[in-house]
Amino acid sequence: MDQTQELREVVVFFSYDNPTRPRRLAEVMLAELKLPHLALGVDALTGGCELRLYYHKETLAQVQAYLHQRKIIHDISYL
């Protein structure tokens, strides 16, 4: 893996439309998957929660599987 890929970030947005509070969903996922993260915060405009992670192919696959398996409404952006 080259260094430029290591420095890229991914933002996982947990929607307010989920039945559980978005920040709680993010905290539980971080704990269960034991993921290091850059930042975690609530979006004041939407009420959703943003979680920043360093981009890594395996980590992203783990996160996507976790979210889909639990039917968590989310969006993923690449920076």
Q: pLDDT tens for residues 29-71?
A: 999 999 989 999 998 888 999 999 998 899 999 999 999 999 9
Q: Using DSSP, state whether 55 is helix, strand or coil.
A: coil
Tokens 């980590």, located at residue: 59
Question: What is the number of structural domains in the chain?
Answer: 1
Q: What is the CATH number of the domain that holds 68?
A: 3.30.70
**pTM of the full predicted structure?**
0.85
What distance in Å separates the CA atoms of residue 21 and residue 62, rounded to the nearest whole number? Answer: 21
Dihedral-angle region of residue 12 (phi above 0 means left; psi in -120 to 50 means alpha; beta otherwise) = beta
Q: Which amino acid is at 74?
A: H
- At residue 64, φ and ψ (nearest 5 deg) are -60, -45
| Domain interval for residue 62 | 3-78
Note the pLDDT of residue 6. 53
